[in-house]
Structure formats: C-alpha cells, structure tokens
Amino acid sequence: MADPMKIRATMMGDKVVVKVLMAHEMETGQRKDSAGKTIPAWFIQSVTATHNGKTVLSAQWGPAVSKNPFLEFRFSGGKAGEKVIVTWTDSKGDKRSDEATIT
Amino acid sequence: MNESRRNLLQASGGATVLALAVSVGLFKSGVAHSQEWNKAAFDTKNLQDTVKALGGAAAVESKEITITSPDIAENGAVVPVSVTSRLGKTESISILVEKNPNALSASFDIPGGTEPFVSTRVKMGQTSNVFALVKAEGKYFFATKEIKVTLGGCGG
C-alpha cells in the first residue's frame, strides 16, 4: 500500500486552493537497473479530486510527471470545514484515496 | 538523483521498450484497471499527433495561455510547470514536452467551477520547448515556452 498523500485545502477569497503531494516512484520504463535490465514503467495514470460528490479536477498522467508528484489547482463553491477527496490509480492498478478538510 | 537522470538520458529507445512490455503482458493488470487512460495520446511523439489523439484538429497559438516555469531548470527530473488559461470555457489543459520520448506529460480535465489553472512538476530529458495545450469551446489552443535543462551539477 502506498504512503498517504499530503493534501492541503485552504480558502483564498471565494476559491479553494488545493495542494497535493503524492508518494509514488513514477518509474518511466526507460531506466535500467545495475544489471542492465529495463525497470518496468510504474506511474500514476489517473487522478480525481472530488468535493461534495462533484468532480473538481480529473487528470491523466504519463510517466513524465515527476517522482512524488505535486499538484495544485483551484475551484470555487467550497466552504471551510468541507472535505476534498483525492484519488489516484497507477499503472499496476493500485489505488490510494485521501481526504483533507478545507481550512 | 544524478545517476537516475543519466539513465533517463541514455535510454533513447525507451518508447519501443515500453511498447514491448505492453505486448509481453507486463501491463495486463494495469490496463484492466485504467481503461479510460488515453494510451494513444500518451504514446504520441509531437504536438500535432497529440492533438489528433486527443480528438481535435490543428491547434492555434494563443496569447491567453500562460506557462509559468523557471527559464532554466537545474534538475530535469523535477521541473515545476504551471499553466493558466484565460480562454473562456476552458475544458482541458495538457502539458507537453517536445523533446521527451513521448510528448504528453499530463492532461487535466477542468470541470465548470474549477479555475483553468494547474500546477505540477514534470521530467525533462533535455532542454526543450514546453507546450500547454488548452481545449476551450471545442477548439484547441497552445502556448509554448523553452525551458533550458542544465546537465552539469554546477547549475550553470
């Protein structure tokens, strides 16, 4: 099981600013190990963020997103105390979902 | 970190390796769980092909899109890139790195109520033009910016 994400959701005016730091290797499938064998690709393919059951951002990623990916986005319609849920799925089918309370 | 970057740079035939891995079946479980993942778009090599794979015609350059990033990235493995669109009804934002083995790095769908802005970090194999591809009202627009990647450790 992957390590939890760090999610911060803060009100800035009438917008919610969401910053997410995920823990993931994001292996490109292009690197080789010390024995010269290619390390198979392993990366987050899709990311979804929801707020009150509504999707506020969905993303598809390739292996070119950096290791331990960072993501920031902003949406309106949120209030302090409500929750933002972020879910990712990687190329091995692993999933991780974490939530944060808007402050 | 340096070691891994060197490997990244050396692996020129990476795309074919990836294709091979898929055909061998290494990706079976992954594919089953991510049917929506737009493999065709992530396999393309350049901007026009990516636009096509994402379902659009030719993209037009637009001044209403801003790419925010350092002009010089000292570490190609972690290049912060932000894209802001001022186009009305922005539906999606994609980040492409021209000289990476596969141009498309990330693609974001922007639902109504979400600002047409995203910020993330991408890998760059070498100095390259970075494109922000924005879909707005069914049309595709792009902006571009060159980001230099310094290879040495001295941050020239």
Is 50 exceeded by the pLDDT of residue B103?
yes
Put simply, whether A70 touches B (Cβ < 8 Å) is: yes
Which of A60, A76, A92 is the best residue to mutate to test the B interface, defined by the most B CB atoms within 10 Å of its own CB? A60
Looking at the complex, report in whole angstroms how far the Cα of residue A74 sits from the nearest Cα belonging to chain B. 5
Mean pLDDT of A68-80: 95
Tens of pLDDT, residue by residue over B38-94, are 888 888 887 788 888 887 777 899 999 999 999 999 889 999 999 999 998 999 999
Which of A61, A75, A91 minimises the CB distance to B106?
A61
Put simply, whether B7 touches A (Cβ < 8 Å) is: yes
The DSSP H or E segment spanning B22 is helix B14-24
Cβ of A64 and B100 within 8 Å? yes
Is 60 exceeded by the pLDDT of residue B18?
no
A70-76: strand order across its sheet? A6-12, A15-21, A70-76, B114-122, B79-85, B65-68
Separation between Cα atoms, residue B43 and residue A71, nearest integer Å: 22
**Residue in chain B lying closest to A38 (CA):** B17
Considering only residues A48 and B99, tell me which one the structure prediction assigns the higher pLDDT: A48
